[in-house]
Chain A
Amino acid sequence: MPRQHDITQLLAEWRDGNQSALDELYPLVYDELHRLARRYMSRERKGHTLQTTALINEAYVRLVDQKNVRWANRSHFFAISAQIMRRILIDHARRHAYAKRGGGAQQVSLEDVATVLPDQSGELLRLDEALKSLAEMDPRRSQVVELRYFGGLNNEEIAGVLNISENTVTRDWNMARAWLYQQLTGSGAN
């Protein structure tokens, strides 16, 4: 487990504009999320579900030096976690889509894949693309979607993370969701 100090330090550096800090942070946070997820699952409690938010929260508590914590650090931590979750899902969906397209003598095992995201991989990939376009136009609204949809955060948490009011989060969400819906269903103006 990486030392709390390192993570806290890296988060501060990233906040201060050091992009290479993100490259170092990413694998550290991923490893911790991964380790926690495995531990949760190995307990195999009955009826137990593994929730993204709970996972990110626990990772945060474990990784970040609570004594020197700042809101900005916390928000950056959640932002990275949501990004990681997004990447996991998108990579997963991409594999699923590759496999579904079939082809030649290929054989890809889909046993685990199909149970998680039945037939939604295509939609998820298109959503990811649309979200990228949204980010170019309106980074904050795209971040609201990333935090909520991929990070599993509620509006209150998102407000804290982005340092905006909850009302703004709601408004951003409504607008972003309507726009994404348009993009995905082709009901847009364009």
Chain B
Amino acid sequence: MTPERWQQISRIFNAAISLDGQERAAYVKDECGVDTGLRSEVEKLIAAHGNAQSERFIDGMAAEAAAPLLVNDADFEPPRLSLTQGQQLGSYVILDALGAGGMGEVYLARDSRLERTVALKVLSEEIAKDQRRMQRFRQEAKVASSLNQPNILTVFEFGEVEGLTFLATEYVDGQTLRDFLKQKRLKLGDILDIGIQVLAALDAAHEAHIVHRDMKPENVMVRRRDRVVKVLDFGLAKVSDKKSSGNESEASEADTAFKTAPGTIVGTINYLSPEQARGGPIDERTDIWSTGVMMYEMVAGVLPFSGVTSSHTIVQILEKDPAPLSKLGNAPPELERIVEKAIAKSPDERYQTAKDMLIDLRSLKKRMDLELEIQRTSSPTTMIPAIRTEEVRRETGKRRVLAVVLIGMAIVTAAIIGINVWRSWRVRSNGGAVAPATAFAPGERTLTYWITVQKFRDKKPFQDPFTIPGEMIFEEDYQIRLSFSSPQTGHLYILNEGPASSAAPEFNVVFPSSTANKGSSLIAAQQVTQIPEQSWLKFDAQRGTEKLWLVFSEDAVPELESVKEFAGPQTQGLIADPARNKVVQNFLKTHSETKPTIEKGERLTTLKSPGKLLVHAIRLEHH
């Protein structure tokens, strides 16, 4: 923008905002004349002015925050990051700075030998001189590289180059569990997912007789992309006392670190087990304790043991029974039992192995998933949140009968227990749109869908709607609704390909539309997307097979983003531009060659596809 133009805009803008409504519009129109570009810029700026005013945009916030910050010396010092982008460190090329902490600096780097991206922790000189801490890093590298498990952060290398000591690990784009806990209360499904993965990591470590000994939320990372959990920092880990027949002379650092002078404890002691607090012998069951404490914190939002000073905390760890979870959070009784067992004061009363605890958590999760499915399929209205307590109680008996019919005898017992477990939790939590919590593996796309069918007679709904997992022959007076959900975040596109009547197939954009999901293709994990949101989909007069193309991708798909604009009511989503229609056709053709695996349940269909992209066509036959 030229300075003259800028001055012109600001002159009209300033005069205009002192006028009201009609007068203002007329003034702007008058001033801008035929220059529609100018007019549009002024109008946008006026709109921004209104929004900025009502939102109190930059209204005094920074000034208030600045002064207190001055008190803290460290905040004024910019992070002392000594390496710059593009700089070479041995075979590593620095891509970006990730942060600086007590230990040193962390960079995103590319390993040019092996062509992989790594997190490069460059240790500060001070640390590099400290033999004990160096031992910790060597230990971490040694232990973690011997444990090849997807939930354990992979350590590639611990070494030295050009006088700098570094640790190269797998790069995880995500947040620590600590960050998660700070931001929000976790959902029960997430808590179970995280707990299960942490225990899977510990199970693998324990199998190798390695005890982590420093489990805490700071050492659990959750990858943004797919919520895969990574356990970090095996720096304090050691071979289990059970196995290393009483080699007590090698006084472990974890034990001594916490026994230094009061007030000098650097790390957190809230996750310390009673035996660690006492300085007693430590084995795998210490990790189970710490995991139990983390799970308690995830459910309750507060720590089970936390005193005003570290000595108070230690006394609590040794002696106090924490407040029952059922009083603090919305934990089902079964989860409360699992957590309580994990934090039994005596190691002998705890879960004896990570595997046992893992099995209990997994079966709890399965039961809840099952219960969710029953609940959803027994009545389509359960997708709508806020079931009142009385209603649920009244309907319980009826749904149990339904469960018997639907699921079959083999799992009836489990289902009924599931209902009890789940209901007692749900009644208290007062519901929410619930999504099926399907398990998924890393490097895989998972999408679940179901179809709700409503019969119509004389243009009026006839009989209750029912839910099916997919294909059937639809009668003319059937109207449908599609629901989608995934345990993963991703971009969802749904296109309708009508019965082929001519040479070139026609595509209609069904999702996203200007009304559905506010025009965005991005759906959150566990979000239930229903199409259409309010009404039902009707088949048109043209009989045959309608194909509904589902594309679910980790990243936005440019080919499909570019046709979103057609999803307006005028064209019914029809991609009117032949060239772009062709682009869509080619995209679907190319990518539908990799077929997803299809798992059909009683009421749901789950699609799984390797890689970042899932493409599948649902065929809807109607007569």
Contacts and interface: CB of A to CB of B under 8 A. Distances in A.
Interface of A: 30, 33-34, 37-38, 41, 49-53, 55, 85-89, 91-92, 94-95, 98-110, 112, 114, 116-117, 120, 124, 127, 137-138, 145, 148-152, 171, 174-175, 177-182, 185, 187-189
A185 B68 CA distance: 28
A177 B47 CA distance: 12
A24 to B, nearest CB: 18
A103 B44 CA distance: 39
B45 to A, nearest CB: 5
B51 A103 contact: no
A96 B14 CA distance: 37
A104 B169 contact: yes
Interface in B218-248: 218, 221, 232-233
A189 B39 CA distance: 11
Nearest to B175: A102
A146 B558 CA distance: 39
A50 B68 contact: yes
Interface stretch (B97-105, B285-293, B390-398, B420-428): B97-105
B89 to A, nearest CB: 15
Interface residues of B, number: 70
Given A105-B153, A150-B62, A137 B3 contact: yes
Interface in B20-50: 37, 40-41, 44-49
Q: Most A CB atoms within 10 A — which of B3, B69, B101, B120?
A: B69
Interface string B500-517: 000000000000000000
B174 interface: yes
B172 A102 contact: yes
Contact of A41 (B10, B68, B75, B106): B68
A102 B221 contact: yes
B13 interface: yes
Nearest to A170: B14
B98 A103 contact: yes
Interface string B115-132: 000111100000000000
B64 A52 contact: yes
Interface stretch (B52-60, B358-366, B466-474): B52-60
Interface in B69-121: 69-73, 75-79, 97-103, 106, 108, 118-121
A38 B48 contact: no
Contacts of B44: 182, 187-189
A109 B67 contact: no
A88 B69 CA distance: 7
16 contacts: A52-B67, A95-B100, A101-B99, A101-B173, A102-B176, A103-B172, A103-B173, A105-B121, A107-B103, A107-B176, A110-B179, A148-B63, A152-B66, A177-B49, A178-B52, A185-B51
A90 B120 CA distance: 25
A175 B12 CA distance: 10
Given A104-B172, A177-B49, A182-B45, A98 B64 contact: no
Given A104-B170, A137-B6, A178-B48, A55 B98 contact: no
B66 A178 contact: no
Contacts of A117: 65
Contact of A37 (B40, B71, B119, B218): B71
A95 B81 CA distance: 11
Given A105-B233, A152-B60, A33 B70 contact: yes
Q: Most B CB atoms within 10 A — which of A41, A106, A112, A171?
A: A106
Interface in B171-214: 171-176, 179, 182
Contacts of B99: 95, 98-99, 101, 103, 106, 108
Contacts of A112: 72, 75
A102 B66 contact: no
Contact of B51 (A85, A150, A181, A188): A181
B79 A179 contact: no
Contacts of A127: 58
A107 B172 CA distance: 13
A105 B62 contact: no
B6 A182 contact: no
A164 B97 CA distance: 42
B387 interface: no
Given A33-B70, A103-B171, A106-B106, A189 B40 contact: yes
B492 to A, nearest CB: 23
B35 to A, nearest CB: 13
Contacts of A50: 67-68, 71
Nearest to A141: B10
B167 interface: yes
B261 interface: no
B522 to A, nearest CB: 16
B17 A177 contact: no
A187 B57 CA distance: 14
Given A114-B182, A177-B49, A94 B78 contact: yes
B410 interface: no
A41 to B, nearest CB: 5
